[in-house]
Amino acid sequence: MTEEEFLATYDPRAYPPVAVTVDVVAFTIRDGRLHLLLVRRAAPPHAGHWALPGGFVHPDEDLPTGAGRELAEETGVQAGALGRVHLEQLGTYGAPGRDPRMRVVSVAYLAFAPDLPDPAAGSDADEAAWVAVDSLGLPDAATLTGRPVQQRPGTTRKLAFDHTRIVADGLDRARSKLEYTPLATRFVGPEFTIAELRAVYETVWGDTLHAGNFHRKVLSVPGFLDSVGATTDRGGARGGPRARLYRAGDARLLHPALLRPSREEAVR
Amino acid sequence: MTEEEFLATYDPRAYPPVAVTVDVVAFTIRDGRLHLLLVRRAAPPHAGHWALPGGFVHPDEDLPTGAGRELAEETGVQAGALGRVHLEQLGTYGAPGRDPRMRVVSVAYLAFAPDLPDPAAGSDADEAAWVAVDSLGLPDAATLTGRPVQQRPGTTRKLAFDHTRIVADGLDRARSKLEYTPLATRFVGPEFTIAELRAVYETVWGDTLHAGNFHRKVLSVPGFLDSVGATTDRGGARGGPRARLYRAGDARLLHPALLRPSREEAVR
DNA sequence: AAAATAGTGTCTCTAAGACATTATCAT
DNA sequence: ATGATAATGTCTTAGAGACACTATTTT
Contacts of A223 in chain B (CB under 8 A): 267-268
Averaged pLDDT of chain A: 86
DSSP assigned state of A17 = P
Q: How far apart are CA A71 and CA B179, in angstroms?
A: 34
What pLDDT was estimated at residue B137?
Answer: 83
Closest CA to B111 of B55, B160, B183: B183
- Would you state the pLDDT for residue A219? 98
Name the band, by pLDDT with cuts 50, 70 and 90, for residue A83: confident
- Please state, in angstroms and rounded to a whole number, the distance separating the CA atoms of residues B121 and B137: 27
d(CA B220, CA B255): 9
At residue B142, the pLDDT reads 47
Residue B14: per-residue pLDDT: 55
Tell me the residue ranges of DSSP E strands in B41-123: 50-51, 54-56, 86-93, 103-112
A229: left (phi over 0), alpha (psi -120 to 50) or beta: left
Q: Distance between CA atoms of B200 and B196, rounded to whole angstroms? A: 7
What does the H/E/C string look like for B209-239? CCHHHHHHHHHHCCCCEEEEEEECCCCCCCC
User: What would the pLDDT profile of A121-169 be if each residue is shown by its tens digit?
Assistant: 555 556 899 999 999 887 665 444 444 445 555 555 789 999 999 999 9
Q: How many CB pairs under 8 A join A and B?
A: 133
What domains are defined for chain B?
Answer: 2-8+15-176 (3.90.79.10), 181-266 (1.10.10.10)
Please tell me what DSSP assigns to residue B24: E
The predicted-structure confidence for A156-174, as pLDDT tens digits, reads as follows 578 999 999 999 999 999 9
| Residue B92 to residues A89, A109, B108, B115, B186, Cα–Cα distance (Å) | 8, 11, 6, 27, 24
How far does the CA of B208 sit from the C1' of D7, in Å?
Answer: 19
Mean pLDDT, range B55-72, rounded to an integer? 94
Is the pLDDT higher at A6 or at A245? A245
Can you name the residues that pair with A50 across neighbouring β-strands?
A40, A159
CA B227 vs CA A74, B60, B243, B244: distances in Å? 55, 43, 11, 8
What is the rounded distance in angstroms from the CA atom of residue B185 to the CA atom of residue B113? 9
Q: Please tell me which of the candidates A20, A55, A126 has its beta carbon nearest to residue B18.
A: A20
Nucleotide nearest to A209 (CA to C1'): D17
State whether residue A21 is helix, strand or coil. Answer: strand
Distance from CA of B38 to the nearest CA of A (A): 16
Does the distance separating the beta carbons of A16 and B57 come in below 8 Å?
no
Cβ–Cβ under 8 Å, residues B146 and B217: no
Interface test mutation site (partner A, options B105, B144, B221, B260, max chain A beta carbons within 10 A)? B105
Residue range A224-243, pLDDT digits in tens: 999 999 999 998 889 899 99
- Cis? peptide before B256, omega within 30° of 0: yes
Query: Between the CA of A211 and the C1' of D21, what is the distance in angstroms?
Result: 14
Chain D, protein-covered positions (CB within 7 A) = 2-9, 14-21, 23-27
Q: Report CA torsion sign: B18, A169, A195, A267.
A: negative
Within 8 A of B107 by CB-CB distance, chain A residues are 92, 94, 105
Rounded mean pLDDT of A112-117? Answer: 86
CB atoms within 10 A of CB B87: 18
Least confident of A166-170, B5-9, B157-161, B177-181: B5-9
Contact criterion met (CB below 8 Å) for B101 and B43:
no
Helix or strand or coil: residue A31?
A: coil
Other CB atoms within a 10 A radius of the CB of residue A210 amount to 11
pLDDT score for A140: 61
Q: By C-alpha distance, which of B140, B220, B92 is closest to A57?
A: B92
**CB contact set of A250 (below 8 Å; sequence gap of 6+):** A223, B268
Q: pLDDT band at residue A82, thresholds of 50, 70 and 90? A: confident
Segment B111-131, tens digit of pLDDT: 999 888 888 655 555 688 999
The answer to whether residues A15 and B59 touch, using CB atoms and an 8 Å cutoff, is: yes
β-pairing, B18-30 vs B103-112, is parallel
- Judged against a pLDDT cut of 50, whether residue B101 lies above it is answered with yes
Indicate which of A4, A18, A177 best probes the interface with B, i.e. most B CBs within 10 Å of its own CB.
Answer: A18
Contact yes or no for B49/B41 (Cβ under 8 A): yes
Mean pLDDT score, B148-171: 78
Q: How far is CA B240 from CA B145, B196, B214, in A?
A: 33, 14, 17
Who has greater pLDDT, A266 or B71?
B71
